[in-house]
Structure 1
């Protein structure tokens, strides 16, 4: 194995641990841990809008609670940047209703390790349509 292959493997493991941390922290409603997986200028996009980190506490508080079950991401490395797609199945804790879809991500290597720079949610509907969600499902204060 070459040094370049080893470095790429290390990067992929670190990125996959990062996004596993995202799924666990949001499932546990650990907002501080959730925010920590993003770069300081990181954003989350869904519901027809993009949200900055300072909006995460209200955004997560308004969201349904349950299990964020994610699959292994397909990641493309490009030096200190990367992009990826990760499948998601969300299961509501009260009804066990499911939402399925995928995240489209960009990652950045920082002095603290890899971090999410952007995460955008795409829902897969029963009709087969892929969309970013109902516009204005989250009301900003």
Structure 2
């Protein structure tokens, strides 16, 4: 593990931007945290960045609370895990889980290359979720 302090802080700020942007519904800022060829995985599917706005639009809205990520940065690439607690704005129902991430350093700084969601169920199972209502085109 070669986590330079500056790199760790930059990735932490990147992930904070993800959480704040998705909470506020700022899709443009949310897309900026990914590499152009980035993907998001959940619900048994891998979504390219071009499909991410429609996926976010179809998802419940609320507060994304995330933990400090556990990072392993090596040169210009890295991986990490970040816990998540999502609270639905209308019902205050919660969903919990964690993201498994891959990062890349780009000319614009560190970016998410892949982000995969794992949900933690009440029965203790960890899975990628049930099929989402988002219709792929």
> Normalised by the size of structure 2, how large is the TM-score?
0.96
1:106 equivalent among 102, 105, 108 = 102
Asked whether 1:56 is paired with 2:55, we answer: no
Greater C-alpha Rg = 1
Secondary structure of 2:135's aligned partner: coil
- What residue ranges of structure 2 are gaps of 5+ in the alignment? none
Asked if 2 retains the 8 angstrom alpha-carbon contact of 1:75 and 1:82, the reply is yes
> 1:136, CA displacement in angstroms?
4.5
Secondary structure of 2:96's aligned partner: strand
Q: What's 1:12 paired with?
A: 8
Q: Deviations over 1:8-44 (max 9, x none)?
A: 0100000000000000000011110000000000000
1:96 equivalent among 75, 92, 96 = 92
> Normalised by the size of structure 1, how large is the TM-score?
0.93
Once the two structures are superposed, the pairs formed by residues 44-83 of structure 1 within 5 Å of their partners are: 44-83=40-79
Asked if 2 retains the 8 angstrom alpha-carbon contact of 1:47 and 1:137, the reply is no
Q: Distance in 1 between matches of 2:133 and 2:110?
A: 30
Q: Deviations over 1:65-108 (max 9, x none)?
A: 00000000000011100100000000000000000000000000
How many aligned residue pairs are there? 136
